[in-house]
Structure 1
Amino acid sequence: MSLPQPVPPSWKDLGKSSNDLLGKDFPINGTQLEVKTLTPSNVAFKVAGNQDPKLNVINADIEAKYTDKAHGLVITQGWTTANLLRTQVEAENHLAKGLKFDLSTSLLPDSGKKTALFNTAYKQPGLHTRAFLDLFKGPTFTADTVIGRDGFLLGAEASYNVTEGKITRYATAVGFSAPEYAVTVHGLGNLSTFAASYYHRVSPDVEAGAKAIYDTKATTQGVSLEVGTKVYLDAAAFVKAKINNAGVLAVGYTQALRPGVKASFGVAIDTQRLNEVTPTGPAHKVGASFTFEG
């Protein structure tokens, strides 16, 4: 008798463990600040800002999210300093268990540019499928599906331009996921770019991962490779480090100062240009991130 199958990750979350290990907690592009609060009426507010050291400007946005768990409804409204208005409405488990509807829109009042994306997702043990309809671009219909059994994962994605009547993009992926490690191989961009990622929880305090990308259309031949690790110093602090084949070394340190307060510091050093200065400054990056949550 086979064991009950878990719900597999969505297409965008294939290889997520490795992507998070190599991509998150490296605040190397200026200073970032994020403040999160929750009201008794289930409205969550988030204010985030980032100071770009090159342009010497501050980009920020404010977001309010209302969650009605009893009716499976989530409404999110955002506004950025670029005067971009975002609205998202999510409804889950209304017509069937595991079925979710999502409408995401954005508007730039200054230029009149707008987007509207209608999404549906359906997940059951062993299956996670999604469909998107971009109402103003094309319109374009995109669908992806991931099936999983006993840790093995198989996924595919395709986009269809309704006006032109043809498939404009397709991709596929295979992988294996276990509690301690995960391996994923993607064929992206109409199978013109291939990516392989690996994640391993070596011990409760140490994680390691790697990612390799080969672009058949790139002007420079070869494989882009990046490896990294995460080490927990204690229950409130960890250090992350990664390096790629271009010689860029990045180190991040995150410390929980108290419940709801977290600080992260990062630096990226180009080991091939230690003493070089570019027109925009040194060939290295530093930054910090502060998160307050209450």
Structure 2
Amino acid sequence: MSGIPVPFSDIAKPANDLLNKDFYHTTAANLEVKSKAPNGVTFNVKGKSAHDGPISGSVSTTITQSNFRISHINGRGKIEGKYSDKATGLTLTQTWTTSNSLDTKLELEDNLTKGLKAEVLTNYLPAKSTYGGKLNLLYKQPNIHTRLFTDLFKGPTATMDVTLGHEGFLIGAEGGYDVGKAAITKYALAAGYSQGSYAAAVTATNNLTIFSASYYHKVNTEVEAGAKATWDSTAGSNVGLEVATKYKLDPSSFAKAKINDRGIAALAYNVKLGTGVTLGLGASLDTQNLNQAAHKVGASFTFEG
């Protein structure tokens, strides 16, 4: 029997991850420090320096005591209470933030029927007397994975997607509808095949105006390869092409490389320097204009403890 297929948004995920993740040239420098004290208090500090623009950062502190949690992020704090009943699949989370927003999330999983999860999310701003409300339904069974996301106070609007799978073959569709405007807001289609070490997908997104075909292959335990071709029917007849590869140098490091049809090449190197310390280095080169200052380099440091 086939397993539960991936959601619609993940049909082309293997190739997309290989082409887009772990390339560090997009920012000049990125720093992240994660630590957890013995008493359960966690700290998360992030800093980012863009190639063009100011340095940004955030500081997050979370104190967890049973089902009660206090968090503080960049001067914005929140108090969160959570109640869960495993027997009924009910989870209730309420959050009050220092911006005076009261958020409630009610989750009910495998209660009405196995594989169905319902989420009700509400938001209330007392100072403005404004409300927000969303209802999400997620249903998973062998051969089918479908989701419905609705915003009850804006439109109302709804986005639904479904993926059908059988023996590695996948086919999916997505659609959006605005009840207030009585209009379809978006639609997309996708088909794919995933089996063991390789996966292929064809997608038609942005109201069937952007078409892409992607392929991913895990050649062996050390080497991965992938490619993606994209055509925007509204922008002309040119087809964009990207190819990428990943090579696992040893158990603690790997290198990645990719190049597109415009001659833009990117290189990346990731290594675990020790327990909880990871370094990432990256560079982007315009191979058709090597004598110009269009190249980018970046570095990423992550500390966990």
Q: Identify whether the pair has TM-score above 0.5, normalized to the shorter chain.
A: yes
Q: Give secondary structure in 2 for the equivalent of 1:22.
A: helix
Alpha carbons of structure 1 residues 222 and 105: separation in structure 2 relative to 1, 3 Å? farther
- 1:185-238 per-residue CA deviation (whole Å, 9 max, x = no partner) reads 0011121110111100001100000111101001x4311110000000000000
- 1:130-175 per-residue CA deviation (whole Å, 9 max, x = no partner) reads 0111345432100000010000001000001110112121111111
- Whether the aligned pair in 2 keeps the contact of 1:103 and 1:116 (CA below 8 Å) is yes
Of 172, 176, 180, which residue of structure 2 is paired with 1:163?
180
Of 216, 227, 233, which residue of structure 2 is paired with 1:210?
227
Following the alignment from structure 1 to structure 2, what is the Cα–Cα distance between the partners of residues 70 and 212?
47
Following the alignment from structure 2 to structure 1, what is the Cα–Cα distance between the partners of residues 41 and 168?
37
Q: How many residues are paired up?
A: 280
Q: Which residue of 1 aligns with 2:280?
A: 264
Q: Which residue of 2 aligns with 1:35?
A: 33
Q: Give secondary structure in 2 for the equivalent of 1:217.
A: coil
Aligned: 1:249 with 2:265: yes
Aligned: 1:292 with 2:303: yes
Q: Which residue of 1 aligns with 2:73?
A: none
Please provide the CA RMSD for this pair: 3.5
Aligned: 1:283 with 2:290: no
Following the alignment from structure 1 to structure 2, what is the Cα–Cα distance between the partners of residues 197 and 76?
41
Alpha carbons of structure 1 residues 170 and 207: separation in structure 2 relative to 1, 3 Å? same
Pairwise mapping of residues 122-201 of structure 1 onto structure 2 (< 5 A)?
A: 122-201=139-218
Of 3, 6, 13, which residue of structure 1 is paired with 2:10?
13
Following the alignment from structure 2 to structure 1, what is the Cα–Cα distance between the partners of residues 267 and 102?
33
The amino acid across from 2:181 in the alignment is E
Aligned: 1:227 with 2:243: yes
State the shift of 1:61 in Å: 6.2
Aligned: 1:26 with 2:30: no
Moved more, 44-53 or 168-177: 44-53
Alpha carbons of structure 1 residues 118 and 252: separation in structure 2 relative to 1, 3 Å? farther
Q: Give secondary structure in 2 for the equivalent of 1:252.
A: strand
Pairwise mapping of residues 49-60 of structure 1 onto structure 2 (< 5 A)?
A: 49-60=47-58
Following the alignment from structure 1 to structure 2, what is the Cα–Cα distance between the partners of residues 16 and 132?
21
Following the alignment from structure 1 to structure 2, what is the Cα–Cα distance between the partners of residues 225 and 138?
38
Alpha carbons of structure 1 residues 41 and 168: separation in structure 2 relative to 1, 3 Å? farther
* Bigger radius of gyration: 2
Following the alignment from structure 2 to structure 1, what is the Cα–Cα distance between the partners of residues 178 and 194?
33
Q: Which residue of 1 aligns with 2:77?
A: none
Identity of aligned residues (%): 43
Moved more, 68-77 or 130-139: 68-77
Alpha carbons of structure 1 residues 87 and 47: separation in structure 2 relative to 1, 3 Å? farther
State the shift of 1:127 in Å: 1.0
State the shift of 1:51 in Å: 1.4
TM-score between both structures, scaled by the size of structure 1: 0.82
State the shift of 1:36 in Å: 3.3
Q: Which residue of 2 aligns with 1:279?
A: none
- Whether the aligned pair in 1 keeps the contact of 2:105 and 2:122 (CA below 8 Å) is no
Following the alignment from structure 1 to structure 2, what is the Cα–Cα distance between the partners of residues 143 and 103?
16
- Structure 1 residue runs without a partner (length 5+): 277-281
- Whether the aligned pair in 1 keeps the contact of 2:41 and 2:61 (CA below 8 Å) is no
- 1:231-273 per-residue CA deviation (whole Å, 9 max, x = no partner) reads 0000000000000001110001000122322111111111122
- Whether the aligned pair in 1 keeps the contact of 2:212 and 2:230 (CA below 8 Å) is yes
Alpha carbons of structure 1 residues 242 and 191: separation in structure 2 relative to 1, 3 Å? same
- Whether the aligned pair in 2 keeps the contact of 1:62 and 1:78 (CA below 8 Å) is no
Q: Give secondary structure in 2 for the equivalent of 1:203.
A: coil
- Structure 2 residue runs without a partner (length 5+): 70-81
